[in-house]
């Protein structure tokens, strides 16, 4: 079964690059992923995988059924990208999907993560090809391309794991995300929560500020506490790094000249470690408010997790919380060891790592407790930049890595 060099697999590798370009040329901000979903679904159907469909929220799912006692594997990627920002900052147009003479593929989503997504689709098709040639799959392979990852509320991923897969009695024992990891096997990241802190006051004409209570003034001791007391006291972890806190937005209302504002609102970005909880983080704010109220009877404040109404391209609307729990899969986990062995199978040196930003593994690992790993040769630090790129080599090498992982976890030579 000299599979990776067989002609069918070689043909797939040729089709992989134009497919990745097609995905990049199809802009897909969160809520606008429909055309990318069409492309992904069409490719799964053309590859004749056992089942493929689009769920009610717009995620694309494809299944290859296995038989036996092997684990069921979820392959996951997201179809949305962040906006390109200022077009003049791009040397290569963000949606042109240019490939230069060095084999570099440029564009929004090339690294995060239409490149990885294309490699996952083609790994799925390669497994179909291998099964057709006699490889027995001992468990199910579930491919999923979700909507609304970049909005950080895990809207598409929640729907996939809570509705779409259970509705078809599909479960999974291990999950892989083709997010950019610089070729490392990433095992987790810090949690992230966006906290909305509000101070209240009383409007008055600004010519007589003593008649009102300025909500901005009431926010000053909160900001001081965030930067000077909370930030330096946060814990740190040898693998995931330091917990952090910072303020990313300040607004006030009415926000008009000559009016003392009666509302000031800040967005606090808090990254946290496993072991810290959102409840504790909010409780720390409440304790701070109690101290400030003891000194200032006019002080009135509240803290809550930011929520947003999000609407998928299919029209489904949900309120989501802007938070992603921390997760850290043990290096000793059997699936992690097998993934490292799969890399060794194809002559690569496995290296473990962790994400700086948040990904949808926060749901599978952080909430559901399913061992989850990220893997792609694309560079995480290029995500969301105007220099975003991957390489043709990376696309093929990611596909090969996923085929090696799936073959090791699920493959058994036919009797």
Report residue 144 as tokens.
């999923």
The smaller minimum CB distance to Zn ion, of residues 70 and 156, is found at 156
Q: Are the C-beta atoms of 150 and 304 separated by less than 8 Å?
A: no
Q: What spatial distance separates the first Cα and last Cα of the chain, rounded to whole Å? A: 13
Q: How far is the CB of 81 from Zn ion (least distance, A)?
A: 8
Q: How far is the CB of 360 from Zn ion (least distance, A)?
A: 8
What is the length of the chain? 415
Q: Considering only residues 145-184, where is the footprint of Zn ion by CB under 5 A?
A: 179
Q: Are the C-beta atoms of 53 and 45 separated by less than 8 Å?
A: no
The smaller minimum CB distance to Zn ion, of residues 179 and 379, is found at 179
Q: How far is the CB of 355 from Zn ion (least distance, A)?
A: 9
Q: Give the sign of the dihedral formed by CA 175, CA 180, CA 184, CA 189.
A: negative
User: Facing residues of 265 across strands?
Assistant: 198, 251
Q: Are the C-beta atoms of 176 and 346 separated by less than 8 Å?
A: no
User: Which of these ranges, 107-115, 207-215, 255-263, 367-375, lies near Zn ion under the rule CB under 5 A?
Assistant: 107-115
The smaller minimum CB distance to Zn ion, of residues 112 and 276, is found at 112
Q: Are the C-beta atoms of 405 and 202 separated by less than 8 Å?
A: no
The smaller minimum CB distance to Zn ion, of residues 179 and 276, is found at 179
Q: How many residues bind Zn ion (CB under 5 A)?
A: 3
What single DSSP character describes residue 71?
P
Q: Which residues contact 293 (CB under 8 A, 6 or more apart)?
A: 299, 300
Q: How far is the CB of 111 from Zn ion (least distance, A)?
A: 9
Per-residue contact string for residues 9-38; x = within reach of Zn ion by CB under 5 A: ------------------------------
User: Which of these ranges, 45-53, 105-113, 215-223, 252-260, lies near Zn ion under the rule CB under 5 A?
Assistant: 105-113
* Rounded (10°) angle between helices 34-46 and 115-132: 20
373 binds Zn ion (CB under 5 A): no
The smaller minimum CB distance to Zn ion, of residues 180 and 212, is found at 180
The beta strand positions in 338-409, using DSSP E, are 352-353, 372-374, 389-391
DSSP 302-340: EEEE-EEEEE-TTS-EEEEESEE--EE--TT-HHHHHHH
112 binds Zn ion (CB under 5 A): yes
Q: How far is the CB of 82 from Zn ion (least distance, A)?
A: 9
User: Which of these ranges, 106-114, 199-207, 227-235, 396-404, lies near Zn ion under the rule CB under 5 A?
Assistant: 106-114
Q: How far is the CB of 112 from Zn ion (least distance, A)?
A: 4
113 binds Zn ion (CB under 5 A): yes
The smaller minimum CB distance to Zn ion, of residues 82 and 300, is found at 82
Q: How far is the CB of 394 from Zn ion (least distance, A)?
A: 15
Q: Residues in the site for Zn ion, rule: CB under 5 A?
A: 112-113, 179
């Amino acid at each position: 079964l000299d599979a990776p060099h067989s002609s069918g697999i070689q043909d797939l590798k040729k089709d992989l690059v134009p497919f990745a370009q097609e995905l990049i040329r199809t802009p897909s901000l969160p809520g606008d992923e429909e055309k990318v979903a069409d492309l992904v679904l069409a490719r799964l159907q053309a590859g004749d995988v056992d089942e493929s469909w689009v769920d009610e929220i717009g995620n694309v799912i494809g299944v290859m059924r296995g038989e036996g006692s092997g684990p069921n594997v979820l392959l996951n990627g997201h179809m949305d990208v962040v906006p390109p920002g200022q077009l003049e900052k791009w040397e290569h147009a963000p949606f042109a999907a240019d490939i230069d003479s060095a084999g570099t593929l440029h564009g929004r989503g090339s690294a995060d993560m239409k490149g990885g997504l294309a490699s996952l689709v083609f790994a799925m098709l390669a497994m179909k090809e291998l099964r057709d040639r006699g490889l027995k799959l001992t468990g199910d392979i579930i491919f999923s391309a979700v909507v609304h990852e970049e909005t950080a509320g895990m809207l598409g991923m929640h729907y996939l794991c809570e509705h779409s897969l259970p509705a078809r009695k599909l479960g999974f024992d291990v999950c892989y995300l083709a997010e950019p990891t610089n070729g490392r096997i990433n095992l987790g990241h810090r949690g992230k929560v966006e906290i909305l802190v509000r101070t209240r006051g009383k409007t008055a004409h600004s010519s007589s500020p003593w008649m009102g209570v300025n909500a901005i003034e009431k926010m000053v001791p909160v900001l001081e506490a965030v930067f000077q007391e909370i930030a330096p006291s946060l814990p740190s972890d040898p693998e995931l790094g330091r917990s952090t806190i910072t303020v990313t937005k300040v607004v006030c209302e009415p926000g008009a000249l000559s009016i003392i504002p009666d509302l000031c609102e800040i967005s606090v970005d808090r990254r946290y470690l496993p072991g810290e909880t959102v409840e504790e983080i909010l409780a720390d704010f409440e304790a701070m408010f109690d101290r400030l109220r003891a000194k200032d009877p006019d002080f009135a404040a509240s803290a809550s997790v930011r929520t947003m109404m999000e609407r998928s391209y299919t029209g489904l609307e949900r309120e989501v919380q802007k938070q992603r729990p921390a997760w850290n899969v043990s290096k000793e986990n059997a699936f992690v060891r097998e993934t490292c062995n799969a890399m060794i199978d194809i002559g690569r040196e496995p290296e473990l790592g962790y994400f700086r930003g948040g990904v949808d593994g926060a749901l599978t690992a952080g909430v559901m407790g399913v061992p989850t790993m990220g893997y792609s040769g694309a560079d995480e630090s290029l995500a969301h930049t105007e220099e975003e790129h991957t390489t043709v080599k990376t696309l093929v090498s990611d596909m090969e890595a996923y085929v090696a992982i799936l073959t090791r976890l699920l493959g058994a030579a036919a009797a």
